[in-house]
Amino acid sequence: MLACTQVHAEACVVHSSGEGLKMKVCQQNRTIPQKLFHDGFCQPTLPGQQVSVEFVDQCPFGSFGVCSDAHVDNMPYRQDIHYYGVASDARYLKPFCEQNSKGLWITP
C-alpha cells in the first residue's frame, strides 16, 4: 500500500543565477505524470539565467515558505513549491500562492 502513495514521490531543486540574482526553489510532485514533471516542469527556461536542476526524492529542509497543493494553470495537476533564500520574499509569494495557484501557504 505504501508504494502506491509514493508513485509521485519525486522533487526537483532548481538553482538559477544571473544579473546579480540567485534563486533556489524545489518543486515536490503531487499529481503530475512523472515524464511531464521530469521533462517539462523541472526544465525551466529563464532568459539571462544560468539554471541547474537536481532531482531528489523530496525537497530539502530549510525553506522559508511552501506553497502547498499549488494548482498548475490550465491543467489538473498539483505540486508543492518550496522557497529558499530571502524570507522577506514571502510578502510577494504568499499572495501569489493563495490567489493564483490556489495553494495553502505554509511557514515551516
Per residue in 4-32, pLDDT (tens digit) is 334 456 999 999 998 777 889 999 999 99
What residue spans of 49-108 are helical by DSSP H? 90-95
Nine-digit cell string for 38: 521530469
Question: By CB neighbour count within 10 A (0-12 exposed, 13-18 middle, 19+ buried), where does 103 fall?
Answer: buried
Amino acid 46: pLDDT: 80
Per residue in 76-97, pLDDT (tens digit) is 999 999 999 999 999 999 999 9
Amino acid in position 20: G
Q: For the whole prediction, is pTM greater than 0.75? A: yes
For the chain, which residues make up each domain, given as ranges?
Answer: 2-106
Q: Alpha-carbon distance 8 to 3, whole Å?
A: 10
Q: Distance (Å, rounded) from C-alpha 22 to C-alpha 55?
A: 19
Which one is predicted more confidently, 106 or 2?
A: 106
